[in-house]
Amino acid sequence: MYEFSYHKASSLEDARSTLATAEDGKLLAGGMTLLPTMKQRLAAPTVLVDLTGIDMAGIEGKGDNIVVGAMTTHAAVASSSLVQQTIPALAALAEGIGDPQVRNRGTIGGSVANADPAADYPAALVGLGATVVTSKRSLSAEEFFTGMFETALAEDEIITAVSFPVPEAAAYQKFPNPASRYAIVGVFVAKTANGIRVAVTGAGGSVFRNAEMEQALASNFSPDAVKNIAVDSSGLNEDIHASAEYRAHLVGVMASRAVAAM
């Protein structure tokens, strides 16, 4: 780890202004991704701006939405009776992230900001048509995720909350990496006020929707409607865990399992 200075922010404005003036500042939430990256010297921020002193954790219902504060841990989302009652698929997704240590430290804001192509939350955000609320503005999930580890966030912009519209029904199924539990492929299917949405994580450089599956489910909402839809493997992720062709196959399998679970 390289040397850095540490600042525990006392307010959102304090965090934002420290970040804006730092030469190479980074926000610290649960530290589950950032600290290992720094230990491996893959990241070398000069200033760490700790968000744990700011009141940004908590879950509340606002109209037809469930609003999750950015510093809310995965464990808190998984065990929230409000989330379990309104969007059980979101509670189950959070329960399936990593291990107890990761779930007790890792936050939704950190996960979403990191935009790991194999992370689970991006599938829920895009699948439910969620809104990312920041220190500057509100963005739709599809505007927010712009590529592999890339988001629309500006250098000094801080995620404050994620707002999820409550769906009619939803389910998430993933084929997890057996060691980390990250998604080799994960598919989130939701029946929303704006139609059926199918969001895929793990397979590509960033989370994406599958329009063909959405159309097939709109006319026949059954596991068989999506199981055999061929997914083009070109451009999909390929690594020691799974080939692009295998990931393409898994998209259909996970989508049909998600529909069966609804």
CA distance 72 to 200: 23
**Binders in 140-159 for ligand FAD, by CB under 6 A:** 153, 158-159
CA distance 230 to 8: 50
- C-beta of residue 203 within 8 angstroms of C-beta of residue 237: yes
Among 17, 79, 140, 180, binds ligand FAD (CB under 6 A): 180
Least separation in angstroms between residue 212's CB and ligand FAD is 25
Number of chain positions touching ligand FAD (CB under 6 A): 32
The two tokens of residue 164 are 């999820």
Residue 259 binds ligand FAD (CB under 6 A): no
Residue 237 binds ligand FAD (CB under 6 A): no
Among 114, 163, 173, 256, binds ligand FAD (CB under 6 A): 114
CA distance 152 to 30: 21
Residue 25 binds ligand FAD (CB under 6 A): no
Among 69, 110, 167, 204, binds ligand FAD (CB under 6 A): 110
Least separation in angstroms between residue 49's CB and ligand FAD is 8
Task: Please give the residue ranges that form the binding site for ligand FAD (CB under 6 A).
Answer: 26-34, 51, 70, 97-98, 102, 105-107, 109-111, 113-114, 116, 119-121, 153, 158-159, 180-182
